[in-house]
Amino acid sequence: MQGSSSIMDRQVTLRIGLVFLFIAAAESLWLHALTPLENRLSDAFVRAQAQQLTPDPDIVIVDIDDASLANMQDTAGSWPWPREVHGELVRGIAKQKPKAIVFDILFSEPDTFRPDSDKALNQALKGVDNVYFPLVRRDAAMDAQGAPVAQVAPLLGLQSTAHAAAEARIAILPPLAIDPAHWRVGTINFVEDPDGVGRRYQLYTDAYGWLIPSLPARVAMDLRYDVPKESDFIMAWRGNAGAFKHISYADLYADMEREHPQRVADELKDKIVIIGTAATGLHDVRVTPMASLYPGVEMLATAIDNLKNGRAMRAADEMFGLGISLLLLSLMSIAFLRKMNALKIGMGLVGVSAMLLTASFLAVGQLMLLPVLTPLLLAWSAYVAFALREYLNERKSREQAVQMFSRFVNPHVVKELVAHGGLSRAGESRQITILFSDIRGFTTLSEKRTPQQVVELLNRYFTLQVEVVFRHGGSLDKFIGDCIMAFWGAPLDDPEHARHAVEAALEMAQVLQKFKQELGEADADFDVGIGIHTGPAVVGLIGSEQRREYTAIGDTVNLGSRIEGLTKGVSRILVSQDTMQACGDAFEFQSYGSFKVKGREQEVELFAPIPKEGN
């Protein structure tokens, strides 16, 4: 029965392991329910690593900041400013010979109220061949009303592939305020992951087989930087928001208007200058791993920084996470199948978790994203399931132990026994003191009562006497007809088991007197004989697979029963010399001489305990 229970436990453990292995495969290959949490962890690692880095100093942002909006009020009025202002700035920057001037401002519509201003901007662009403008790829649902791709491809720098559709149309917002002769353009569409965070930047947008370069890709290609032939890349961030060098638009514009400029004359020489806005009132912010309100102009700067320096995050193959998950879950299943201590398994998992999280953090510093949170969450979920199963098994075992031992052991002893880990099912030899208590005159008493009355009387008597046994820390072995068998020294150790057994016998004699008073004069012959012996015995769960009981067997038990049989006509309580010696000086003893005992060649000297005065 125990073997079948063990097999069933192993089967349940195996099923739990298989269920979590299936969940791991489903999560990695189809569900991706834990991906948002995985991304949050990688974002935290990216932020921590980025804070230790400095962006490329050759990328400078001319910032239309809050101060510029205020300081340009008298010169340019309210935003949006006349475009000739930007033209004047471009002329001034171009004199310093930067590598590129990149606008992060849309010029998608001509200024119908100030056409001369647009004309002045286009005039300023003449002779300057390194100014770049953004365009926006509109929703593909609007493509039917868009421009023919084949016509706009040369203007927009579109690249055709083998699958390019010559008759296709495309909906875009190009810089219509700029003369097409100056169109060096690319998309600035914000690409967000399913959780709404922008971790990637587009390199190319495929529209019916035509590749539209993004603004960073267009700048990088013209500056001869390597641009991967991929649709997008995961950005590698450096520094917090504001880490790029910022020059206030108003400050730079005002200095260029001075007769004697105060700024360094070539501060923008060989720089990539990005003109955009971080002003709070213009709301050009995005959700990124770095911040929930990250300036779009700095996102553009980061993308150009990445392409210029060949930096991009690499995501580990999805099989990496699945492999880690399967490995952890398999090892944990094996550990629980082998009945390893759940606490030790948990401590091991803590160590593995710390190791994987550290490895993931360090990998981010090497531009690698390792998905470890999903495997760890699955592993910890499995651990909770396994440990809960172990706990429920242990609790069930303890409840069974309590239920079993409460029948014959003091409930307080049961609690202590359970607290010490239960009871070994194997028998063991222990030094115990055995007590037999048999009723005298039971036959006469039975003749005067109906069977129901006899049962009630016995139940009442046994209840009173068992309470005494329990009170003195004894274990009730069984009832043998009208006889009580109890012992001390098992299942818990009791160095003074002999003394406790004799104390119980003396109190049982006192309880007997009270019980006889309840019976009345008619049952004056009702009495008991109590025999006690101390010695070695085998104790344990003994019986068949269907029924087992915790009991004691051996010569000590037999001699205890024989001593009880010798009490009749001698003394209500008799103990062996072994018991007397084990009690020390706890009691006075009166010798009743030696008696011949069945099964023993030598006679056994017996004694009656007498409580000391004051006890």
The count of other CB atoms within 10 Å of the CB of residue 468 is 22
Which residue, 252, 292, 291, 289, is CA-closest to 94?
A: 252
What is residue 423's predicted lDDT score, i.e. its pLDDT? 55
What does the pLDDT average to over 531-549?
85
Q: Which one, of 284, 295, 276, 348, lies nearest residue 132 by Cα?
A: 276
List b or e across 365-380, with b for residues whose CB sees 16 or more CB atoms inside 10 angstroms.
Answer: eeeebbbbbbbbbbbb
Could you tell me which residue, 453 or 64, shows the higher pLDDT?
64
Place of tokens 């002769």: 181
Among 530, 433, 534, CA closest to 490? 433
pLDDT tens sequence across 108-159: 999 999 999 999 999 999 999 999 999 999 999 999 999 999 999 999 999 9
pLDDT in tens, 541-555: 887 766 777 889 999
Q: Which residue has the higher pLDDT, 401 or 62?
A: 62
Q: Looking at per-residue confidence, does 612 or 545 come out higher?
A: 612
* DSSP string covering 235-272: ----SSTT-SEEEEHHHHHHHHHSSS--S-TTTTTT-E
Label residue 446 by pLDDT band (50, 70, 90).
confident
Count how many Cα atoms sit within 13 Å of the Cα of residue 393 in the half-sphere of its side chain: 16
Q: What is the pLDDT, as a whole number, of residue 1?
A: 45
Phi and psi, residue 604, nearest 5°: -115, 125
The strand pair at 483-488 and 428-440 is best described as antiparallel
Tell me the two tokens of residue 352. Answer: 């593995």
Say how far apart CA 605 and CA 601 lie, in whole Å: 13
| Inter-residue contact 369 to 313 (CB < 8 Å) | yes
* pLDDT, mean of residues 344-372: 97
DSSP 26: H
Which pLDDT score is estimated for 422?
54
Closest-CA residue to 509 (of 525, 482, 481, 530)? 530
Q: What integer is the mean pLDDT of 445-457?
A: 84
Packing angle of the helix pair 35-50, 373-405 (nearest 10 deg): 120
Give me the mean pLDDT over the 28-36 stretch. 93
Cα(41)–Cα(31) distance, integer angstroms? 19
Q: What is the pLDDT of residues 282-317, one digit of tens each?
A: 989 999 999 999 999 999 999 999 999 999 999 999
Average pLDDT over residues 423-438: 83
Query: Which tokens go with 309?
Result: 């320096």
Confidence of residue 271 (pLDDT cuts 50, 70, 90): very high
Distance of alpha carbon 278 from alpha carbon 149, whole angstroms: 34
What is the rounded average pLDDT of the residues 357-364? Answer: 97
Residue 17 · residue 333 · CB < 8 Å: yes
Please report, rounded to a whole number, the percentage of residues in the chain having pLDDT higher than 70. 94
Catalogue the E-assigned strands of 452-526: 475-480, 483-488
What's the mean per-residue pLDDT of the chain? 91
Distance CA(500)–CA(489), nearest Å, equals 10
Instruction: Please state, in angstroms and rounded to a whole number, the distance separating the CA atoms of residues 175 and 152.
Output: 13
Identify the band that residue 601 occupies on the pLDDT scale cut at 50, 70 and 90. confident
Backbone φ and ψ of 362, nearest 5°: -70, -35
pLDDT tens, position by position, 558-590: 999 999 999 998 999 999 999 999 999 999 999
Task: Tell me the pairing of strands 131-137 and 147-148.
Answer: unpaired
d(CA 21, CA 27): 10
Task: Tell me 233's DSSP state.
Answer: E
Q: Which residues contact 26 (CB under 8 A, 6 or more apart)?
A: none
For tokens 């009656």, the residue is 608
Q: How far apart are CA 390 and CA 397, in angstroms?
A: 10
Amino acid at 131: V
- Return the minimum-mean-pLDDT range out of 184-193, 375-384, 401-410, 601-610: 401-410
pLDDT tens figures, 454-478:
888 889 999 999 999 999 999 988 8
| pTM recorded for the entire structure | 0.72
